[in-house]
């Protein structure tokens, strides 16, 4: 960690003492920033993802503009299915789509495991470039989607309210689905390892759709694969964060798979969660992203409430409970970050900085 000028985030991941609670925001390199929209206006989303100079530029923007304590590489969870040979279409109005979703056991068996060194080289290059350009100001986070979440997109083909196709496969052809999840697990693990090798300081797995499953189905079709990834990953001490949205009912299980940090959404009571995970892991979260629409005084009050919920001592990384919304005023994001920086030293026995 010696290359870093600010390693608060990494120390908090390891539940070591920090002078104040570190803060970053999921989807912080995003549309709420006019500076992001300026880059985006010149090209399309996937070209930004695939062009290391552009990806690095928008990755660093929130470090400069909002003052966050970690950067997360600008990319998308769907780069893995694409690297597995699926045609990915991104349309602003409709959201991402796979026009040829996987609907049969045969289609699933024809899909190869991803080769990140070859097919996701552009992400690895973006990471190396970002790290060089940041000059150690803050840590850089790499990421991937969870096997269950990626399988949902690959099988449904597009956004869905009810996940009827994948849930039908889950009940009627569980073995086919499990074979796909196996391939995704290997792909995700290799990709995360490659991101660490390219210069990422930590990695996060986004299990965006884990919360649409019953606890038993979640364990069998999502958590077991997350556990497998974390157990096998070569990471040389680099922190792993697991974020399962909507997983308040299975938090205790998630905390046992060997991740350093568990991300929690705003439906989780942080005090109860801390009690539940018994300091086995650090917790990351969990301001309701919609609260950034409120005025800065209200935002400050809610930040304070969350800091107190977690309570004193190490192991809290402040974040939103989900990605920042695209129409939030940047000043409101800054108000949140400022509040964390001003109010959190008291949680660590430190005078306000």
Active-site residue set? 27, 31, 40, 76, 153
Establish if 288 lies at the interface with its own copies (CB under 8 A): yes
**Residue 14 vs 217, nearer CB to its own copies:** 217
Based on CB atoms, which residue is closest to its own copies, 195 or 244? 244
Burial 144-166, CB ≥16 within 10 A → b, else e? bbbbbbbbbbbbbbeebeeeebb
The pair phi, psi for residue 210, each rounded to 5°, is: -60, -30
CB of 158 to its own copies, least distance (A): 16
Rule CB under 8 A: say whether 172 interacts with its own copies: yes
246 binds its own copies (CB under 8 A): yes
Alpha helices of the chain — where are they, by DSSP H?
8-13, 34-40, 45-50, 52-65, 79-83, 105-110, 116-119, 121-134, 147-156, 164-172, 174-198, 215-218, 224-232, 251-254, 270-277, 296-310, 330-343
* Burial of 117 (C-beta count, 10 Å sphere; 0-12/13-18/19+): middle
Kindly state the smallest distance separating residue 249's Cβ from its own copies, in Å: 4
Considering only 90, 186, 197, 325, the residue that binds its own copies (CB under 8 A) is: 325
Instruction: Give whole-number Cα distances, 99 to 77, 89, 161, 168, 187, in Å.
Output: 17, 7, 18, 19, 21
Minimum CB separation of residue 290 from its own copies in Å reads 4
Beta carbon nearer to its own copies, 288 or 342: 288
Residues 205-244 that bind its own copies (CB under 8 A): 211-216
Contact between 331 and its own copies per CB under 8 A: no
Task: Return the range that interacts with its own copies (CB under 8 A); candidates 10-18, 132-140, 163-171, 337-345.
Answer: 163-171
Contact flag: residue 104 with its own copies (CB under 8 A): no
Interatomic CA distance for residues 150 and 222, integer angstroms = 10
Q: Does 269 bind its own copies (CB under 8 A)?
A: yes
Binding site for its own copies (CB under 8 A): 162-165, 167-168, 171-172, 211-216, 246, 248-249, 266-269, 272, 286, 288-291, 293-295, 298-299, 301-302, 305, 325
């Amino acid at each position: 960690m010696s290359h870093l000028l600010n390693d608060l985030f990494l120390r908090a991941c390891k539940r070591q003492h920090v002078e104040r609670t570190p803060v970053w925001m999921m989807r912080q390199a995003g549309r709420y920033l006019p500076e992001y929209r300026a880059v985006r206006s010149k090209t399309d989303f996937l070209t930004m993802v695939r062009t290391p100079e552009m990806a690095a530029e928008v990755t660093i923007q929130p470090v400069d503009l909002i003052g966050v304590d970690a950067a997360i590489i600008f990319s998308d969870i769907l780069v893995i299915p694409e690297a597995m040979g699926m045609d990915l279409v991104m349309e602003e109005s409709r959201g991402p789509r796979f026009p040829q979703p996987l609907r049969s056991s045969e289609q699933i068996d024809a899909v190869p495991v991803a080769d990140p060194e070859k097919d996701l080289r552009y992400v690895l290059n973006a990471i190396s470039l970002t790290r060089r350009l940041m000059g150690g100001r803050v840590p850089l986070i790499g990421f991937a989607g969870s096997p269950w979440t990626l399988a949902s997109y690959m099988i449904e083909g597009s956004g869905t309210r009810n996940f009827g196709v994948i849930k039908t496969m889950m009940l009627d052809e569980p073995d086919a689905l499990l074979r796909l999840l196996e391939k995704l697990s290997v792909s995700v693990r290799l990709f995360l390892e490659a991101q660490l090798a390219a210069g990422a300081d930590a990695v996060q797995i986004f299990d965006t759709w884990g919360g649409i499953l019953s606890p038993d189905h979640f364990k069998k079709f999502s958590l077991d694969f997350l556990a497998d990834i974390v157990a096998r990953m070569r990471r040389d001490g680099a922190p792993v964060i697991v974020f399962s949205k909507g997983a308040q009912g299975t938090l205790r299980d998630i905390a046992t798979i060997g991740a350093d940090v568990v991300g929690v959404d705003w439906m989780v009571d942080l005090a109860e969660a801390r009690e539940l995970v018994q300091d086995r892991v650090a917790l990351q979260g969990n301001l309701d992203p919609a609260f950034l629409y409120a005025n800065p005084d209200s935002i400050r009050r809610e930040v304070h409430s969350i800091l107190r919920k977690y309570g004193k001592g190490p192991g809290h990384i402040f974040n939103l409970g989900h990605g920042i919304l695209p129409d939030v005023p940047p000043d409101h994001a800054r108000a949140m970050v400022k509040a964390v920086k001003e109010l959190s030293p008291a949680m660590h026995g430190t005078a306000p900085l």
